[in-house]
Structure 1
Amino acid sequence: MNGNSTKTQSGKACKINPYNPGVKKKATLNITIQNRLFMRSSLQNFTRNSIDLPQISENRQSPLNTTKPNILNSTIPYDPIAQVQSNPLTSQTALKQFSNYLSKYETEEILNYSEVYFLGMKANKIKVNLSEPNFGFDDDRSDYKIIIGDHIAYRYEIQHILGRGSFGQVCMCFDHKSKEQVAIKIIRNQIRFHRQARIEMRILHELKSQYIENYAVTMLENFKFRKHWCISFEPLGANLYEILKSNGFRGFSQLFIKKISFQLLSCLKNLKDNRIIHCDLKPENILLRKTQKEGVKVIDFGSSCFLNEKIHVYIQSRFYRAPEILLGINYNEAIDMWSLGCIVAELHLGYPLFHGESENEQLLCIMEVKGLPPEHLLGKAAKRKNYFEGNLVKNMLNSRGKRRVPGSKPLEIIIKNTDEKFFDFLNRCLEWDPELRLDPVAALAHPWLLD
């Protein structure tokens, strides 16, 4: 489980097309390679840099030291960087011993916690100000003010920020209870984001309770801290966009694409079985597992919904947005299959198949490859007038003076692949009509994947 946000509305991120320098890449929510190296070094240095609470009584034995010093009666100066806690402190004990290291607000707040693992005593604490948003803990965008080295819920040590988005922020933390790194998503402190966070947590709880391999990120815990919903996740590796970038925006082998496609389709099948729509499938939201070289997991269910509880009409990142969303037609889980087709094409090409500068040009990009949409779809389109004047396409110029002509760049010409099974798979994922588009079950049985 994104400061300018890397998403707008429901997370519309753009990427650099190396063959089309006019398309600009916005900052992405996902973890950079540099951050990943930092994460690795942070974990290696944990026992040196990350220890907060000392052993404070004879009946609290440290796993790093079998002796039982009593520092309550010791004349040795207090050293807050002493040794790792093997058990949590009670809030009363932590307050009694370490109140000098807490802010005035924390001396009252800590009493709401039955277990205390980490205090962030070296951090530059936020000073409470009653005239500022959320007593000074929030910025003017209602994002939580993240302080590196401080605590979240007296348990998690903030190590660094992974990214920001329209929903809030994600940071890498060390969990002093489990002694493991976790990613924590901190939701913006606004009612509409709280509402969506509750939906996201319901979906993640549903997926977690299945006890099957569903290729979706695992939610560890969720809780509220200083009026912000927080969700902790398992840490994962680089995302597919980062992998494409590190590969010089060159496409991957068919074998690699098949492996990734199988896992994504397995995820989408499970979502469809549970009547869940992801609503923002894209390379940035597909991350490699840390323990499996070619294993992936789908992340960011912040725009997701149950099929019978759709509340958004402006969804999906632009390059992966299904035509029914662009046209203003009622949608279902088939929008995720369109996104998957776009992702598979990108893994093959190395760059996005449809890379419009705006929503209007996005549909023109699709028509350039797929021709005109069927009339029965246009008859349902609430946004038809955005793209057509009567039966004629509004063939506008983009910022580079380019005019896109429907049907002028057939998919088989762009793909340049002699594998007819691959072309058929891709073409059927990118079907205009969602009723005729491949669904996950049919896609998993397609000859291209079974070869």
Structure 2
Amino acid sequence: METQRVTELPLRNMDKRPRKRPRLTWDVPPPAPPPPKVLSAMYCGQDFGNGVIPNYAYTNLFYRDVPVPHNCSPPWRPDDKDGHYVFAIGENLTPSYRILSKMGEGTFGQVLECFDNEKKEVVAIKIVRSIHKYREAAMIEIDVLQRLARHDIGGTRCVQIRNWFDYRNHICIVFEKLGPSLYDFLRKNSYRSFPIDLVRELGRQLLESVAFMHDLRLIHTDLKPENILLVSSEYIKVPDCKFLSRSTKDGSYFKNLPKSSAIKLIDFGSTTFEHQDHSYVVSTRHYRAPEVILGLRWNYPCDLWSVGCILVELCSGEALFQTHENLEHLAMMERVLGPLPQHMAVRADRHAEKYFRRGTRLDWPDGATSRESMRAVWKLPRLPNLIMQHVDHSAGDLIDLLQGLLRYDPAERLKAREALGHPFFKREPRRCGYTL
């Protein structure tokens, strides 16, 4: 069957899903002297959501300044009110890197697409806000990245750090340039799910990367589709198998698939070592393990819970637990997976014990904040039914794998290498008129 090859996804309606959680906040340092005046040049401040989205350039702030020669740094100018570096498309970030576009922005700072003038390649540079605690977090991330790079032979599991430097009070981390995140791919593809054979391949790579980190005694703590990047931006347009029996004149009966299934993990700003304190809240809400919500100490298994949630999202197109509140989140878990173990409920910390009656039974629906919240829980199917709605073959194996990854008790949850040996990953792929 003929397929259409394209290199950039069409932008569809943006959703209101919350992005990366705020991590730290603090005051902006005192302003420095103003820049010199002059001719016109276009500068970018901040105006984009979290995540790394390739091929977008935003220009929302205009300065008048002297044109900058291509072989030197631009004149000094103050950061914006939030401590973000203010830049101009086409100018240099140090003499080594020329700014091509703005790729994305998060609470940490900005990511710019740049051209490495020395190595003659395009790179992605994360420019951290000029705030003390963000700078400290960036230095920890650099340490983790360098540790990963030393052990990741071939650089196939995690994004590769190329360089880092301190530029005008901004920690700048130079990365290889990758494609869109799995979340951005789903969003721009109208949340159409991936074929099960592609989910299998993505899941296998994800678990290999997690196992690799765990072998190094590192816990990612923020696994989610936004932090999993496709290596290539290229994709193919194919008929949607669910609509093959209908007319294909409407473009909605087609969906996009990555041309290559290769992926890498990013964002190690929350990564922690095994021996460090594990009592604080980690993970983005939708992917947060029950032991984290209940205030119990967490460890490697919290990453595997996140992997289970991600696999469900890839094969359904939607986040498994779409919630913003702890009690509702726990009620959703019970609706999909069955009741929480009593031994975990009785050990919940003082902040979480209020979610239970008599210490063991979840206070639901009595504790629900609204009818909308109750409906959001009631509409969820049990895990087997949810998977069978979206998976035509391999459903049994996938359900069994997910039940191992989404076990409440972290001590009973599958480990990464155990999950890689599951029968789900040993099936031969079946294709639907295209090549993965």
For Structure 1 versus Structure 2, the TM-score category normalised by the shorter chain is 0.7 to 0.9
Matches for 1:383-394 after TM superposition, within 5 Å = 383-390=351-358, 391-394=360-363
Question: Does the 8 Å contact 1:265/1:443 carry over to 2?
Answer: yes
Question: Does the 8 Å contact 1:320/1:339 carry over to 2?
Answer: yes
Bigger mean CA deviation after superposition, 427-436 or 388-397: 388-397
Structure 1 match to 2:311? 344
Q: CA deviation at 1:408?
A: 7.3
Q: In the alignment, is residue 140 of structure 1 matched against residue 109 of structure 2? A: no
Structure 1 match to 2:430? none
Tell me the alpha carbon deviations over residues 345-401 of structure 1, each in whole angstroms, 9 at most, x when there is no partner: 011111111111333322222122122211221233213224224334233445662
Structure 1 match to 2:284? 317
Give the counterpart of 1:371 among 323, 338, 342. Answer: 338
Question: Does the 8 Å contact 1:156/1:173 carry over to 2?
Answer: yes
Change (3 A) 1:364 1:435: same
- Determine the C-alpha separation between the residues in 2 that align with 1:286 and 1:304: 15
Change (3 A) 1:398 1:163: farther
Change (3 A) 1:117 1:310: farther
Structure 2 match to 1:426? 402
SS at match of 1:183: strand
Q: In the alignment, is residue 219 of structure 1 matched against residue 161 of structure 2? A: yes
Structure 1 match to 2:187? 245
Matches for 1:297-336 after TM superposition, within 5 Å = 297-310=264-277, 313-336=280-303
Give the counterpart of 1:274 among 216, 222, 229. Answer: 216
Structure 1 match to 2:197? 255
Structure 1 match to 2:373? 402
Structure 2 match to 1:411? 383
- Determine the C-alpha separation between the residues in 2 that align with 1:251 and 1:263: 18
Bigger mean CA deviation after superposition, 304-313 or 423-432: 304-313
Tell me the alpha carbon deviations over residues 262-315 of structure 1, each in whole angstroms, 9 at most, x when there is no partner: 111110011000011111111111111129711000111111111112477222
Q: CA deviation at 1:211?
A: 4.5
In structure 1, list runs of 5 or more residues that go unmatched: 12-25, 40-99, 103-115, 128-135
SS at match of 1:402: helix
TM-score, with normalisation over the residues of structure 2?
Answer: 0.73
TM-score, with normalisation over the residues of structure 1?
Answer: 0.70
Change (3 A) 1:353 1:217: same
- Determine the C-alpha separation between the residues in 2 that align with 1:180 and 1:231: 15
Tell me the alpha carbon deviations over residues 124-183 of structure 1, each in whole angstroms, 9 at most, x when there is no partner: x454xxxxxxxx2x2222222233233222211122222221111111111111111111
Matches for 1:136-215 after TM superposition, within 5 Å = 136=78, 138-213=79-154, 214-215=156-157
- Determine the C-alpha separation between the residues in 2 that align with 1:205 and 1:33: 24
Question: Does the 8 Å contact 1:29/1:162 carry over to 2?
Answer: no
SS at match of 2:373: coil
- Determine the C-alpha separation between the residues in 2 that align with 1:285 and 1:402: 28
In structure 2, list runs of 5 or more residues that go unmatched: 1-17, 25-46, 59-65, 234-258, 428-436
RMSD, aligned CA = 2.8
Structure 2 match to 1:233? 175
Structure 1 match to 2:226? 284
Looking at CA atoms only, which structure, 1 or 2, has the larger radius of gyration?
A: 1
SS at match of 1:345: helix
Question: Does the 8 Å contact 2:309/2:320 carry over to 1?
Answer: yes
- Determine the C-alpha separation between the residues in 2 that align with 1:394 and 1:335: 24
- Determine the C-alpha separation between the residues in 1 that align with 2:326 and 2:143: 31
- Determine the C-alpha separation between the residues in 1 that align with 2:307 and 2:196: 15
Greater share of helix: 1
- Determine the C-alpha separation between the residues in 2 that align with 1:174 and 1:284: 24
Aligned pairs, number: 346
Tell me the alpha carbon deviations over residues 217-248 of structure 1, each in whole angstroms, 9 at most, x when there is no partner: 00111111111111000000121112223433
Structure 2 match to 1:9? 22
- Determine the C-alpha separation between the residues in 2 that align with 1:183 and 1:33: 10
SS at match of 1:297: strand
Structure 2 match to 1:30? 51
What letter corresponds to residue 317 of structure 1 in structure 2? Answer: T
Change (3 A) 1:179 1:449: same
Bigger mean CA deviation after superposition, 158-167 or 359-368: 359-368
- Determine the C-alpha separation between the residues in 2 that align with 1:407 and 1:385: 26
Question: Does the 8 Å contact 1:357/1:398 carry over to 2?
Answer: no
Question: Does the 8 Å contact 2:193/2:315 carry over to 1?
Answer: yes
Question: Does the 8 Å contact 2:296/2:347 carry over to 1?
Answer: yes
- Determine the C-alpha separation between the residues in 2 that align with 1:257 and 1:118: 46
Bigger mean CA deviation after superposition, 354-363 or 305-314: 305-314
Tell me the alpha carbon deviations over residues 64-88 of structure 1, each in whole angstroms, 9 at most, x when there is no partner: xxxxxxxxxxxxxxxxxxxxxxxxx
SS at match of 1:401: helix
User: How much identity, in percent, do the aligned residues show?
Assistant: 33
- Determine the C-alpha separation between the residues in 1 that align with 2:201 and 2:113: 28
Question: Does the 8 Å contact 1:356/1:362 carry over to 2?
Answer: yes
SS at match of 2:105: strand
Structure 2 match to 1:59? none
Structure 2 match to 1:93? none
- Determine the C-alpha separation between the residues in 2 that align with 1:408 and 1:207: 38
Structure 2 match to 1:361? 328
SS at match of 1:209: helix
